[in-house]
Amino acid sequence: MFGEKMRATLLTLLITLSLIGTALADGPEPIRLDLDELVTMGLKRNLDLRAARADLAASTWAKRGSYIAFLPQGAISSSVTRVDDKTLEQSNQAMTGMARLFENMGISGIEMDPFLYRDTYRTSLTVDQEFPLNLHLLGGRRMAVAAEEASRQGLAVDRDQLILNLRSAAFRLLAARELVQVAEEGAISAENRLLLARDRTELGQINRAESLQWDVALADARSRLIAARNGALLAEMALNRLLGQDLRTPLEIVVGDDHTGRGRVLYELGAEALAARVIGNSPGARALRAGKEISAAGKSMAFSGLIPSLHFQFKYGWRENDTLALDDYESWSATALVRIPLFDLGSGLAKYRQRAAEKRRSDLTTDSALEDLRLGVFSAWHEVQLCEESLRHHQYAEEQAQESFDLMSDRRELGHITEFDLVDVQTALTAARARTVSSRYNYYIALASLECLLGDDKPNLDRRGVER
């Protein structure tokens, strides 16, 4: 009877595996990616990173516009005016009367231009030039440069964060799939133990209460298996979301032996040395300092509203009419203008004090953020240390749980312990394996987080935020 049940169980398992293989064969081929390929695809497709690149492009053009403000600005205007016959006749009646008056006085040969022409063409060129040392020009350029730097470093931060998210999502997917394997092994073991317990119950070796313990254990194992499969499915969807592709795309992630290399090197530096490097060179720290520079530039621009500014204007015009007499009529003018704030001095002073207060606030918040960043480095470093020690302890616990299960199984075969004891040992072994898997990938994620804090010491991005 025992052999028949075992054969039936093996046959059921083979049929299940065959059906799974057939389903996989009919489905789409999984995309095979290693971590580098995964990151490359994510950096290219991720929508949030593409939006950050567009923001950097906007900041770059704003900076260029701040330089263009130093150049002359001008425009050409041209117009044509036609009057109706009645207006033309009334406007020129005085000219006709004066001509007759001169004729009556015996004065002839005098030519007079009409007071109004039927068609009048006017064209003019106007050029405005600000004095290059006007403070609002200098402040605007300073703010635009700082804004572009902040945008560039912000893009680098987003890029590093995306890399961390991609690698973390890949590790979570691998962990979830290993947890599925652990849960499957636990369910198969519990099912086999249940069959053995039922055989012993029929043979009168154990009572029914002991056999029912394996029914409960199998139900729990199957519940954990369903939860593990659901977790693996959601982990794969989360990774596909970061890659910017269909959530149901099957993925096969390959992890090499060197994926923790840089993280280990950074960890070996020690918390103090690593914090100094992050504060000095990381994109996050540079972005914070660029924010301080933006506030300082805003204060300079506000101060420009309290001091005089110098402007120059040149205007050159020419016009043509429906008579040849004024076809070549030209005029020009040059103006130097000093603008001194007077009635708006109060509002300018209030704005300056506002910008000064904002600068103080920015300086304080930036210093606070840098301290938070330093604390984050220490926290990440100690997290690696914690995960490393936890992994070592959980691996040892798994070894002990496996050895304990083997020993207890032998003792159960000899009749020294009951099924109650063996159920507890089986559950402990499955839990120990699951904790080891989770600890190992938590350790990998902690090392990746350490790399994210420092980012790229020398980011090499073009004006669009793309790696050269």
Decide: pTM greater than 0.85: no
Distance CA 204, CA 199 (A): 9
Higher pLDDT, 85 or 465: 85
Contacts of 308 (CB under 8 A, 6+ apart): 338, 339, 340, 341
Residue 59 identity: S
Helix/strand/coil for 106 = coil
* DSSP H or E run through 333: strand 329-339
Digit-coded pLDDT (tens) for 161-192? 999 999 999 999 999 999 999 999 888 888 88
Portion of the chain with pLDDT greater than 70, in percent:
85
Say yes or no to pLDDT of 215 above 60: yes
Digit-coded pLDDT (tens) for 332-365? 889 998 988 888 888 889 999 999 999 999 999 9
- Chain centre distance of CA 237: 19
Contact 6, 195 (CB under 8 A): yes
C-alpha distance from residue 294 to each of 147, 330, 355, 457, 464 (Å):
6, 47, 11, 23, 21
Distance CA 402, CA 394 (A): 12
Taking Cα atoms as reference points, which of 381, 201, 419 lies closest to residue 277? Answer: 381
244: left (phi over 0), alpha (psi -120 to 50) or beta: left
**Given 3-state DSSP classes, what are the helix, strand and coil percentages for the chain, each rounded to the nearest 5?**
70, 10, 15
DSSP string over 283-319: HHHHHHHHHHHHHHHHHHHHHGGGS-EEEEEEEEEEE
Digit-coded pLDDT (tens) for 363-422? 999 999 999 999 999 999 999 999 999 999 999 999 999 998 888 888 877 777 666 667
Contact 118, 298 (CB under 8 A): no
Residue pointed to by tokens 């804004």: 147
Say if strands 31-34 and 251-254 run parallel, antiparallel, or are unpaired.
parallel
Say yes or no to pLDDT of 123 above 50: yes
Say yes or no to pLDDT of 219 above 70: yes
Contacts of 182 (CB under 8 A, 6+ apart): 228, 430, 433, 434, 437
Higher pLDDT, 256 or 283: 283
Digit-coded pLDDT (tens) for 29-88? 888 988 889 989 988 888 888 888 999 999 999 999 999 888 898 899 888 888 888 887
Mean pLDDT taken over the chain? 83
* DSSP H or E run through 127: strand 119-130
Where is average pLDDT lowest: 156-160, 194-198, 419-423, 440-444? Answer: 419-423
Residue 316 confidence (pLDDT): 87
